[in-house]
Amino acid sequence: MNNLAQGVEGSSPLLNISIFAAFVVITLVIVLRASRNTRTASDYYAAGRAFSGPQNGIAISGDYLSAASFLGIVGAIAVYGYDGFLYSIGFLVAWLVALLLVAELLRNTGKYTMGDVLAFRMRQRPVRAAAATSTLAVSFFYLLAQMAGAGVLVSLLLGITSGTGQAVVIAIVGVIMIVYVLVGGMKGTTWVQIIKAALLISGAAAMTLWVFGMFGFDLSAVMQAAVDRAGETGEKLLNPGAKYGKSETSKLDFISLGLALVLGTAGLPHVLMRFYTVPTAKEARRSVVWAIWLIGLFYLFTLVLGYGAGAIVGPEAIKSAPGSSNSAAPLLAQALGGPVLLGFIAAVAFATILAVVAGLTITASASFAHDIYANVIKKGQVEDKAAEVRVARITAVVIGAVAIVGGILARNQNVAFLVALAFAVAASANLPTILYSLFWKRFNTSGALWSIYGGLAATVVLIVFSPAVSGGDEAMLTGTDFHWFPLQNPGLVSIPLSFFFGWLGTVLSREHNEDKYAEMEVRSLTGAGAEKATVH
């Protein structure tokens, strides 16, 4: 990534930093105002369950649309065309799984974390420990990806060339994020995500209309211009196979990646936790519907922006620019609106990282404080609820510090690899356990532990010995080759393995808790006994 050091030519780092600083100041004021009502554990973890479905839907879209998806997908479409847009399809379809199978049932049966749902009908301490381990693993890898992405953006948009300079900016991003979480809790974090989502979607909409206007509001004309600009390879932009059709293994790899994306979303802890910030299960369902519309709209924008970047900037200019395909959206912004629009897009990209990292941090800290501290260490006997929130805040600082150090160390690593790992772990360790717990009467503690730990171990082992880590030109470790697993993403193998482990662990155990399942089924479907909103 040394080639990122030059920065985007024509960019104004001072303008970019000024716009970003304005965003930080405004959101910090909002976070401070929101923190006035953060008194109880429900306030800190779930914002008092006081957000409406539409508000939470906007926040979910802010949590989900990371900088990697904004810069990465636009770049992938600009360079690979059809195959790049398949990322958008995978990310969007994933929300149907969350809507139909998870959102409402999870809101009815849980309180703050995934561990609440699993512990409802199983032995509390081992299951909560496993759920917290899985949550921390997914959050850590996702945090690394976002912090490493911050390093890429620093080089790309601010022209900071030295490793020390990148490390300083990553640390600044981390410190601001820790302040959001410490001061505002879930309420402050949610408002940051709402503002960021509005900025990102409105910025993408303005650029989309601008590109459309240049081609007479005709999508076919935009796509044809991209094909013409690409020259001899142009026709490949309209057909599948430009990225994933080179061999049978690459086709399998795409299926594996798609499976991890589609099933991983419904197992991402920071997405699951958002369902607890609304007063009822009906509002949880509404929030997912809002999220689907907003995220779907954004991904339609990426289609126009991707082909528009290919037509206006050109694939060769994009590939040779600092950051390669990641520079497509900033280069298009510069071509359309000069340094001012580029500065706005740069600030939005940074805001995106801040919002996603804050959401991940509060999820990881809540899981440790609520599942490990309150229910495993203290065995559910926490007399002072403020102590649990205090532990969550201390955990947030520790996680933030680890994320800063990890982000500095991972700033030269493959960001896509880290994101894929987070999705694969979520799909393999979390989703099978949640679905079994909600829908299989025979499922028990042993099955949950086998599914979580087995899925987690299988995913990590397969990725360590995959071409993503060694043996390829784009591998994390170049110059060495110890891979024996052929696929870059393990989803195709690890997800079925996790379902199998869950089944095997259940049938080998004599534990039966069908009575508890009946109670959980009634609660999940009707909401009887679900956690209510806090009234201030």
Q: State whether residue 409 is helix, strand or coil.
A: helix
Reference 193, options 427, 409, 357, 367; nearest CA is 357
Better pLDDT: 381 or 434 = 434
Cβ(146)–Cβ(138) below 8 Å: no
Percent of the chain with pLDDT over 90: 13
Asked if 161 and 155 touch (Cβ cutoff 8 Å), the reply is yes
In terms of pLDDT, which residue wins out, 51 or 297? 297
pLDDT of 187 strictly over 90: no
Using left for φ > 0, alpha for ψ between -120 and 50, and beta otherwise, residue 185 falls in: left
The answer on pLDDT for 207 being more than 90 is yes
Residue 474 pLDDT class (50, 70, 90 cuts): low
pLDDT band at 274 (very low <50, low <70, confident <90, very high): confident
Which pLDDT belongs to residue 47? Answer: 62
**Interval 64-114: pLDDT, tens:** 887 667 778 888 888 888 888 888 888 888 888 877 777 777 777 766 677
Judge whether residue 383 has pLDDT over 70: no
Instruction: Please say whether the beta carbons of 309 and 328 come within 8 A.
Output: yes
Per-residue confidence band for 209, with pLDDT thresholds at 50, 70 and 90: very high
pLDDT at 529: 62
Mean pLDDT on 290-294 = 91
| pLDDT for residue 536 | 45
Give the tokens for residue 343: 């500065």
Q: Are 304 and 222 in contact, with CB atoms under 8 Å apart?
A: yes
Mean pLDDT of 381-388: 70
Quote the CA–CA distance of 318 and 262 in Å, as a whole number.
Answer: 29
Say yes or no to pLDDT of 196 above 80. yes
Q: Greater confidence, 112 or 224? A: 224
Q: What are phi and psi of 477, to 5 degrees?
A: -110, 105
The reported pLDDT for the residue numbered 505 is 92
Q: If pLDDT is split at 50, 70 and 90, which confidence band does 1 have?
A: very low
Q: Does 411 have pLDDT greater than 70? A: no
Predicted confidence at residue 4, as pLDDT, reads 36
Contact 243, 84 (CB under 8 A): yes
Length in residues, the chain: 536
Distance CA 372, CA 365 (A): 10
- Amino acid found at 45: Y
Q: What are the pLDDT digits (tens) for 452-464?
A: 999 999 998 998 8
Asked whether 260 and 468 are in contact (CB, 8 A), the reply is no
Confidence of residue 500 (pLDDT cuts 50, 70, 90): very high
Tell whether the model's pLDDT for residue 385 goes beyond 70: no
pLDDT > 80? residue 391: yes
Question: How many CA atoms does the CB half-sphere of 184 hold within 13 Å?
Answer: 26
Residues 288-301 have a mean pLDDT of 91
55: pLDDT strictly greater than 50? yes
Q: With 80 as the cut, is the pLDDT of residue 442 above it?
A: yes
Give the model's pLDDT for residue 403. Answer: 84
Q: Model confidence over 121-170: pLDDT tens digits?
A: 888 788 888 988 888 888 888 888 787 777 667 666 677 767 787 788 78
Mean local confidence (pLDDT), 287-292: 88
- 190's CB contacts (< 8 A; 6+ apart) are 47, 51, 55, 56, 59, 277
Q: In angstroms, what is the C-alpha Rg of the chain? A: 22
Report the distance separating Cα 235 and Cα 320, nearest Å: 21
pLDDT category, 307, cuts 50, 70, 90?
Answer: very high
Confidence of residue 364 (pLDDT cuts 50, 70, 90): confident
* Mean pLDDT (whole number) for 391-408: 85
CA 149 to chain centre: 12
CA pair distance 181, 175, nearest whole angstrom? 10
What is residue 42's predicted lDDT score, i.e. its pLDDT?
Answer: 67
User: What is the signed CA dihedral for 336, 342, 348, 349, rounded to 10 degrees?
Assistant: 110
* Residue linked to tokens 């990646």: 257
| pLDDT given for residue 2 in this prediction | 36
Distance from C-alpha of 462 to C-alpha of 371, rounded to nearest angstrom:
28
CA distance 423 to 96: 16
Q: What is the mean pLDDT of the chain?
A: 81
Residue 3, pLDDT score: 38
